[in-house]
Amino acid sequence: MTALQEFRCEVCGIVDNHPIHWFVIQCGDSELTVRRWNSEAASAPGARHYCGEGHAEVYISRWFDSVCSPPKPDYKTPSPVK
């Protein structure tokens, strides 16, 4: 008997047990890999699942923002006087 595996989109939370047009993203601190859906990539440790191109783009944008952006300034804390 085959076990049915469900996958949840990391952005919207929709669950599907037969995702066809989904994307798999694997990432670390300095590398991000986007793959078309395949069960091997989807089942890999650390794989993230996205129900479509738009939601994969949301994650990619957030990843770049967290990796590439300088820290956002804190305007509430006074800056040191020079």
Above 80 in pLDDT, residue 82? Answer: no
Residue ranges of E strands in the chain: 7-8, 15-16, 23-27, 32-36, 48-50
* C-alpha–C-alpha distance, residues 22 and 16, integer Å: 10
Above 60 in pLDDT, residue 61? Answer: yes
Model pLDDT, residue 81: 64
* C-alpha–C-alpha distance, residues 67 and 24, integer Å: 19
Model pLDDT, residue 77: 72
The pLDDT tens digits of the residues spanning 11-27 come to 999 999 989 899 999 98
Q: Does the predicted model carry a pTM greater than 0.85?
A: no
Average pLDDT over residues 49-56: 95
